[in-house]
Homo-oligomer: A and B are copies of this chain.
Amino acid sequence: MEIEPTYRDLIKELKEKKIRLSYQRVKILDYLNQHRTHPTADEIYTGLIAEIPSLSKTTVYNSLNSLVKANLIQELTIEDNENRYDIVTETHGHFKCEECGRIYDFKVELDSFNPEELKDFQINQKGVYFKGICKKCLETNQKNLQNEE
């Protein structure tokens, strides 16, 4: 349902990019809009199959690829074994916790960063990926250590 106030904007954007606004694709966009957890294709499929029983996993993949091409969503390649998707297309950083797997967003200003080595290159996308251990996991580890004593 409610894809927020940006709903009409989205439709307009899709039309402009000649991407058909199929039922499935709207639902996928909707899902990404409501779940800002950078879900995988499989998570999106699992999240929608109840509402769209006919949904095929292939459709999810196809749709995601189309939406990426239309620049409506962003594809994140953090781990090698799965892609994640993000409805926010502005450049921002992603931190992946190596313990719990959660992905956190953070701000990065890279628009004005154009390295000398890439002069005369056409830069289409700028990605920043940090890895480590998130605050939550660090705290949990700390507690576990205390309990062991």
Contact = CB atoms under 8 A, between A and B. Distances in A.
B98 A107 contact: no
A130 B122 contact: no
A108 B104 contact: no
A15 interface: no
Chain multiplicity (copies) = 2
Interface in A105-149: 105-108, 113, 115-118, 120-135, 138
Contacts of A83: 80
Contacts of A117: 95, 104-107
A42 interface: no
A80 B118 CA distance: 23
Nearest to A127: B129
